[in-house]
Structure formats: structure tokens, C-alpha cells
A and B are shown apart, each in its own frame.
Chain A
Amino acid sequence: MAGTTSKVTLAKGLNMGLRKAMEADDKVLLMGEDVGKLGGVFRITDGLQKDFGEDRVIDSPLAESGIVGTAVGMAMRGYRPVVEIQFDGFVYPAYDQIVCQVAKLHFRSQGRIKMPMVIRIPFGGGIGAVEHHSESPEAQFAHTPGLKVVTCSNPVDGYWMIQQAIAHDDPVIFLEPKRQYHAEKTELDEDATPAPLFTSKVVRPGSDATVLAYGPTVKTAMKAAEVAAGEGTSLEVIDLRTLSPLDLDPVFASVRRTGRAVVVHEAHVNLGLGSEIAARITEECFYALEAPVLRVGGFDTPYPASRLEEEWLPDLDRVLDAVDRSLEF
């Protein structure tokens, strides 16, 4: 069909997805700091207030607990609030509302209260920012029963996953790799049929080792796979996409073939998603493993000043180093 295919950035894909969701259901509301007139500091909500009005695209007072807390009330009243947290490091004033209220209301009310809320958080580093603008808080939410946590790594997933998250009846923490917002454009076919939301995806087949990534590190993993291919090593790359629940069947299938797995995320290694994934792989694929599951991530320190962030963040070399260590084990 003509006119439904275009080349878009992640920012544009998300913007189009939000627009689609708002057109499809007039209960969908956007709330957050600077999301209205400005269109958000990353312009993800650009133009939406103009087209859907101030009742549906709400510039909120500067208070994250206030934003999420009032979104709870909106959800109880039948709305589907999509909350924008301006940067990862600013979600914590809302942390209490998220883990004590948003996550538990369905359970506490025996399912009588639905919480179809999406909390969008630009996350991850590499943009040369000051403190609190480059963090990866996913494990803190994935650790909380009642919340679902997903992350898109590319424009096409951004477009589909945000719509799926909004249509989903449970609260979803939706993590967007901010470094990718305005990076490459990808061909988006709006008539395609997307994969279900809570599924992971093999994004590059390979046979020697399996590299698991999500959000910003998918790109790193793909580059590593390319370099490794040049050196005669075949890496399979899986984009996890969903962090809670995890969809590990494709991972197990892969590791049973390769016998080796490396998990890559920007978040701290200690008790990061990689720890859970390594445990599950060990439980499911113990006899297929040729090496321990290795984790590559941010060091267990606060996020450093930006002049050091490229050292702190897992990069191509650190992924390849882990792959080598796995192969040589």
C-alpha cells in the first residue's frame, strides 16, 4: 500500500506510534514535563499537543511523584496514561508510586483495578550529559513484581512496541535508548504485522557464541558480530526486547547450539539483568554450556563524568574480549 512506508529515526517511530495509539483510543493520554508545547526535550511528543489538545497531552508541574500518582487516578478512571519521565535519573522521585502503587494495585484489588499505564523513560548513556542523565535503572523495575519492562532498540520496534505497550492492560516501564533517538533511519512499513510485545528476537544468526543485548547495546552487539565475522567467529545476536517477563526460549535454543553466552547491558553488572539471565541459562542449558555465561556491563560504580563514559560503557572491544574469553574457556 502506498504511503505507509517511510524511513524514520527512533524518535520519529515513537512519535508516530504514540500518534497511532492516540488515534486508536481516545482514552490514551500523555503526561509529563515539557511534553506539550515543547514536544518533550527529545521531541518524542512533537506536534501531539497541537493535534490532540491540552487535555490529552498534558504539561505537568515539575514533580515526578505527582505525575505518576495522578496517572494512577487517571487509570482508575478508565484512561490509559502514557507518562514521560524526562531522564532515567529523574524517575526516583516517582519510585514509591511506581513500586508501591502502580505495581501492586491490580494484585491488591484482586484484579478489580486495572493499571494500563505506560511509563516511558529515555535511558542509557553516551550523550555527553551531566549526572543523572545516563542511567540504566531497568533491573530496579524488573525486580518488582507487577511491572512489565520492555525496551526497543530500533525505530521499527519503537513504532510497534509503544502501541502494544499502550494497548496492554498491565503497567509497562518502557525504556527508550536515548542515544539512538536521532541516530540512523530505518525503513518502517506501517502495514507489517509486528512480533508480539513480550518476545525476544534473533537479530543475527550465528553458531559460535550467543550475544544477548537490549536497548542501546544491540547496536554494540551487532557491530561486534560484524567484526568477529571478519575474524572467522560467528556470533548469534538476540535482542531481548522484553526484560520482565523475560522471553528466554529463543535464548535457550540458541545457547544449546552455541554452548556459549555473553550478556551485554549498560547497567551495572552486579545484580543486573545479566545475573538473572546467566542463572536461567545455567539452569536450562547446563549440559550444553562450554563456558560460564559472561556478563559485560557498566562497572559497579556510579555513572562517571561524561569524559569517562565511553570507558565505563560496554563497547565493541569489551564485548569481543568477553567473546574471546568464552571461546578460550
Chain B
Amino acid sequence: MTHQDTGFGPDLVEVFGPKHEDGGPELIQLLTPEGERVHHPEFDMEFTAEELRGFYRDMVLVRRIDVEATALQRHGELGIWAQLLGQEAAQIGAGRAVRPNDFVFPTYREHGVAWCRGLDPLHLISLFRGVDHGGWNPHDHNFNLYTIVIGAQTLHAVGYAMGMQRDGVVGTGDPDRDAAVLAHFGDGASSQGDVNESFIFAASYNAPVVFFCQNNQWAISEPIERQSRIPLYQRALGFGFPGVRVDGNDVLATYAVTQAALQRARDGQGPSMIEAFTYRMGAHTTTDDPTRYRLSADVESWKLKDPISRLEVYIKRNGYADDAFFADLAEEADQLGHALREGTKAMPDPKPLDIFDRVYAEITPELAEQRDAFTAYLSSFEGSH
């Protein structure tokens, strides 16, 4: 049936084409899964050997953090861990495109972006270990706390961006002054009311925000088809701003696209959306068993698109790094792993009375009374254990 028949405009397949498991022709790519450098009419960029080594190092090290944290959970050191395996390029590409003045609103899986913001990975570990709800100062890193309630942070991101507009740090033309916000969310989150409302607000106020959706194809057990009939990036247009789909396993393309989108926003040209087309290679979290709902063949086919190996092939083939670089990096990763294991085990537990601290700017008399009663109660055990 076509639009002539119904009067309701063109049908979906006419507009969007058939579904493409591999992301389709709109997928922006600068590096193929085979490690071939390809070019793009709008988002092409040149990278120095040093930059390429930097991306590679970042990805190797965040994968190591992820592997270590997963192992620590298995050994009972963490309550749970949300793995980023397979999403390293999406996160490093995005994270490295952010400038110091920009502000990032992560989900709970943005370990790679956290790395780019200079967060000590032990902060992430302590959250998943159950030591705190987020021990870093968001203002120090321009990186908000992790947000677990799906989608909530996208509204915060827009509000923060609206604050930037009012502070006159958007569209001044001064690169040291202009700033923008990067808002992370997942394919599943795209269904939440909050996320859709954040699109409306961003469009309405032309807020300097980039919506960065990692479409890793899954929301726990539910495939992307449950959330959207059309490519997610296409939703942006309906809200009144542009959207693009980038190969989220290609760190170069993700970097190029994200920095272009952030620059648009800093320049005062408003919001945009990036759909980083990627795959959640691991379980949803360490408590999940993906064999219950997806085929190992799908996972295998995505292994061929691994973000790290494609960059490694490209670097090696072109001699952008020598053997010493790889050997040093392996050593650095081992040291990082060691530091994480030791740091986790040495992490002090929070103290019971900490519970009452900082619920309010100043503790209320009522709560102080409760704390004092609990203190007395705890001391009644002293000597009895």
C-alpha cells in the first residue's frame, strides 16, 4: 500500500527502506570491521598516529577495567557489574570528543566515558561493590553520577544545557568558553517518557545538548524491535532536530560524529542525536543469563566487528605503532588490573552512622535524634561481640 492509497503519507518501508541488521547504508563509518580506512563525505577526519594509538590505548584499558570488574564480581567482591564489552569504541569515541567545559550525563554503563573524564575506575568499582551510590564529585569531572532509573538523566542533561545558555557559554565563538552537554542513554531507554520529554524540551529551547544513544540491540532480554519500528536516529527528525547513525564499533567515526555534534551545540545550533550502532557482547549485568533469549550465532557475528581488533589491524598494517607500544600497553593493562584488584580489596567499608550524613544540607533535629538513638543502640553491643 502506498501513500496514494491511504492519504497518510508514505509507508515506513518506503521512507526507511528494509531493516538492516548491519546498520544499513546510513551507517557512518571511517574504519571497516576489517580495519580498512574508508571516507565519508561529511564526517571525514584525519588522525595522527599518536591519536590512533591514544584511542587504542583507551579501548584496551577500559576493556581491562571491565574484565577485572567482572572477575571481581565473580569472586564476590562486587554485588553486580554492568559490562561494557563491545561498546568500547562508542564510549571512547564519544568520551574523547568531549572538552573540559562540556558536561556529561552517563547511564550506569559509561565506564569508558568515565575513563575519558579522568575518573579513577575505583569510583565505579565502589558503586558496584555497594560502598556508595557514586563517590566522585560530578563538578570536578563534569561527569554526573551514574543514573540507574532508565532515562531520567536525559532531562537533567537538557536542563543543564539550558543553564549553559543562560550563562552565556553557548555560541560566543570563543572555543575556550563555549560548551555543550552530552546525554547518554540506551535503545531501551528511548521508550521512556522522560527521554521523549527531553527531546521536546531540547528542541523547544534549542538547547546545546547531544543525545548519544548506544543502540546495543538489547534492553536486557528485549530486542530493539520491541522499542522501535524505525532506526532510532530517525526519531530525532520528528522532534525537530537532526539525527545520525554511526558505527558504534568504529572509534574514529564515533569520535568524528560526536565532536561535530558537540561543536554544533556549542555554536548555538541546538540539539542533535547520535545513534551509535553497536552490540552488547556480554550479559546485561553479571546477574543476567543471555543464553535464555539470544542466539550465540548473533554474538559470534558481532565478534567479527570487534572495535579493538579493527583498530589494531589498521595500526599494525600501517606501522602507526611499533612492537614496544603494544608490549608497554600490555604491561600497563596488567598494572591497571593489579591496581583494581588491590584497590578493591583495600577499600574501606562505609560506617553505619554514615547513613545519616548528608540526607539534607544540614541534618534535621528529628533525624539527628534517630542517629543518636542508633549510636546508643550500637554502643550497647560493645564488648558483647
Contacts and interface: CB of A to CB of B under 8 A. Distances in A.
A219 interface: no
Interface string A269-313: 010000000000000000000000000000111101111110110
Interface string B145-171: 000111000000000000000000000
B11 interface: no
Contacts, number: 111
B220 A37 contact: no
Contacts of B133: 130-131, 305
Q: Is the interface of A mostly helix, strand, loop or mixed?
A: loop
Interface in B293-351: 293, 349-350
Given A93-B192, A305-B133, A312-B355, 7 more contacts: A62-B150, A62-B227, A93-B149, A308-B355, A311-B352, A311-B355, A317-B381
A300 B131 contact: no
A67 to B, nearest CB: 10
B227 A306 contact: no
Interface in A13-42: 33-34, 36-39, 41
Contacts of A39: 292
B70 to A, nearest CB: 15
**Chain A, interface residues (CB within 8 Å), range:** 35 or more
B224 to A, nearest CB: 11
Given A33-B222, A37-B221, A66-B193, A308 B352 contact: yes
A61 B131 CA distance: 32
A73 to B, nearest CB: 16
Contacts of B128: 130
A129 interface: yes
B350 A301 contact: no
Given A59-B222, A300-B367, A307 B130 contact: yes
A128 interface: yes
A-B pairs, 9 with minimum CB distance: A306-B130, A38-B221, A61-B191, A62-B188, A128-B79, A311-B352, A307-B130, A63-B191, A62-B191
A302 B367 CA distance: 12
A34 B380 CA distance: 46
A318 interface: yes
B232 interface: no
Given A63-B193, A93-B192, A131 B222 contact: no
Contacts of B2: none
A79 interface: no
